[in-house]
Structure 1
Amino acid sequence: MADSQSGQGFDAKAFLRTVPEEPGVYRMIGVDDKVLYVGKAKNLKRRVSNYFQRTQPSPRIAMMVAQIVRVDVTPTRSEAEALILENNLIKSLAPRYNILFRDDKTYPYIEISGDAFPRLAYHRGAFAKGARYFGPFPNAYAVRESIHLLQKTFQLRTCENTVFQNRSRPCLLNQIKRCSGPCVDLIDADSYAADVKLATRFLDGQASEVIDDLTTRMQAAADRLAFEEAAACRDQVRVLQAVLHRQFVDSRKDEDVDILAAVEQDGTVCINIAMVRGGRHLGDRPQFPSGAAVAGAQDALLAFVEQHYAEHPIPARILLNQALDPIREAFAELSERPPGVLAPRYAAEKAWMEMAEKNAGLAIQARARDTGRIAQRLEALRDALDLLEAPQRIECFDISHTMGEATVASCVVCESGAMKRADYRRYNISGITPGDDFAAMRQVLERRYGKIAAGEGQCPDLILIDGGKGQVSAAAAILAEVGLEQVAMVGVAKGEGRKAGLETLIFPDGREGLALGGASAALHLIIEIRDEAHRFAITGHRAQRGKARIGSRLDDIPGVGPARRRNLLAAFGGLDGVRNATVEDLCRVEGVSRKLAEDIHAALR
């Protein structure tokens, strides 16, 4: 029977008679309405029918089909709409049997802003209108190295607009010849625009043409006896030539290529993407799929292509170490002008692929070592704290303030031995006696776990409190109030001289404190989480304290309300800028009269 492999009660034959032969998205639903899998199709009827054949292409698919109790389909007007909808649903629902690449959105870019004097900047996130973006780059190091090169060669500004608009003298970057000083008119707009154009062409991969142009300018300047200008062009040419000579496995062609190496070792699949821009190898980045129990290299590569290139530019060529046809079909759906999808042919291409495959293998080995080390640390923590099971989710709290000012509590989360930054939270503490850490701890735990007791959020397996008996007692009382006293909790009291390794663990049940010693793997994990909570609390406290102090300094001046304070800080880029401004500068701010400007000038001095 066609439905013999599907979940109990699901009549696959009857369902398939209702499925249209149109493009769209299908969702495989299991018990309790849990979404098992989301997929797209050019022809929904043909694609969905394939799941209910007598034989399945892989154990993963067979396992999924056995759990299906319902299939929902959403026809769309085109394949492109189906692709977008599939991508959105996978990200929002995180189905168990989809292959997910969770960190695919973190690629950095170089931005050249659309200002009158464009700014060179490191960029992540959404693109702004009017700016130009170059990338993606495989990592932040590649971006910063490129920005450093562009600063050294073309001397473009990198400062924020608030700083740029309020400079009255050249900055340090100008003095070390990393910026041409457009903020103080040391370069005219046309000359700066010419430098921007050269930098843009260089980022577009036209390095050879840029060098030729600079050489021509150098010779022309020498012919005019403008030797300083000729020397500057000469220095730029030398820098660019040195960069080209340093490139490893340089194709000597101005081309953009992505090299995708899918490697499977010991049941782990890694997709390593190496990026070549303008013929220069910029490095690579390994990606590990999650969300699927079993997936071969080919399936993982197809999933990566569909997710990555739905949001990032597609280069002219893609080199693969797997079957080409499925990837070509995926690109045909992604783009009206799909790239050339090829296997490595020439010496440089084979060298690129060899490096990518080798690095993928090394990444798998490193991941395996890290996984073993994490498991060892969690088991050590279980034994040290006498827990029934190794804690998979650990939450740690810390309180930070300065003599009671701007108290901030932090909560950091460690899940499966790794810090989960998306779940970090900060809490501004108010309504307590300044400096009362016990009350602060009670407040943050009540706010955090009151919601969990009401059914919102995820309950941890272990709670760490940065503090001694007082903080632990306050925490235990709150957990008892919200009905979570069964959750394991321990305090981390600092040792003598606050020296790492001498910490004592404090238990809420009155047991004697436990000193694990500096060689304990369990203590190493606890200290790592505790220190992260402390760092997160400190940064939040400093920001909160800075806001409070800036506000108080200006708010104490008669005539400066919230609107004028906001205008002043925006105009001068912060309190230091306001403090350094002259009376005439202050008068130019909207809503500031000369009398008020004189009062502000006097008050801040």
Structure 2
Amino acid sequence: MSEEIKNTLAVIPHLPGCYQFIDEKGTVIYVGKAKDLKKRVSSYFNKNHEHPKTRILVRNIRKIKYIVVNTEEDTFLLENNLIKQLKPRYNVMLKDDKTYPYIVVKNEFFPRVYKTRNIVKDGSRYFGPYTSVQSVNTLLEIFRKVYKIRTCRLNLTPENIIEGKFKVCLEYHIKRCNGPCEGLQTLEEYNKNIEEIIEILKGNVAIIEKQVQEKMQLLANELRFEEAHELKEKLVLIQNFREKSQVVSNTNYNLDVFSIEEDENSAYINYLHVVNGSVNQAYTFEYKKKLDESAQELLSMGIIEMRDRFGSKSKEIIVPFIPDLKLSDVEFTIPQRGDKRKLLSLSEKNVKQFKIDKLKKAEMLNPEQRTTRILKTLQKDLQLKEMPWHIECFDNSNIQGTNPVAACVVFKKG
């Protein structure tokens, strides 16, 4: 095990997140997730592995990178994003290449709304991915009951409907569809329902909540209490539907997120690239200060560097403060609440962790650096003119003027 890996294992935090193993060529060969990064990553190096591929993997590791997240759920979502993006050689556990489901509003006449795991660039709108299949199925069921959207795969072009090529099916007779196939529902009326469905998928559940409550009240007035209770249970699921993950958001954000931490000699900048609400790139780097650069200048340099390196064209950049930078067709935002604030908090969490780890590694390699840091802090706190390399503290005591006793405590180089 190399010194670099030993140092990383010594400082990696007890936090949930994803880790990446990198070989001597700089290629990511494995991505994993963990409830506790330190315990999970350390386990690869402190025990013998029965599986030969695991032993080969460990022998090829030259560097470890990791990203901390807020919740265990986020580790699954982030791992999924990273594996799809990086395609690491040793991720053999994902045998079926499972992806999380999306809800698609199909680009067609009388659009269908259904669950899918495949994204096709045909102009359709995709929402997700979602971690709860139950929530997806429940929401689709509510759409069908409340908005009576079609479930058939018929090609409902205006020409085909006028020519009378289709007949209404059982869904129409049980009042689960309004029969657009026979022209019994206009495209305009149908699309109004689709617009409301899209708003709900963006997180605006108040619309559907109102309609379901009205339906519940109607059923209760008709003494159909079991059906009303069933709708109530589904309403609760819908109200909890919008997943509050910073790593994957139900709102299709396309933006960059930057945060910065500083010390006397360096500035640390974290960059998150968010596409369709999903964090698919995360990178933290360090600038060594040469002059007395301001935080605005350093952040501006980092934004230019990262957007160029990763080819980002995002129109919105989330920042902790407005940098000394102007970009055409780009808006800087300092969020105060909501999903964007949580994305900024996630970036800040990563950059602070990077700074702490960097400091710990440096002090492990050079213990004198730790001593100097402690003494500088002490000098500042006690408002001393010089560095307190040597401190002697005396205390004298006696009992009513007799039996004097003295003690000396010496403090040397911390």
TM range (shorter): 0.3 to 0.5
TM-score after normalising by structure 1: 0.27
TM-score after normalising by structure 2: 0.37
Q: Report which structure shows greater RCO (CA 8 Å, sep ≥6).
A: 2
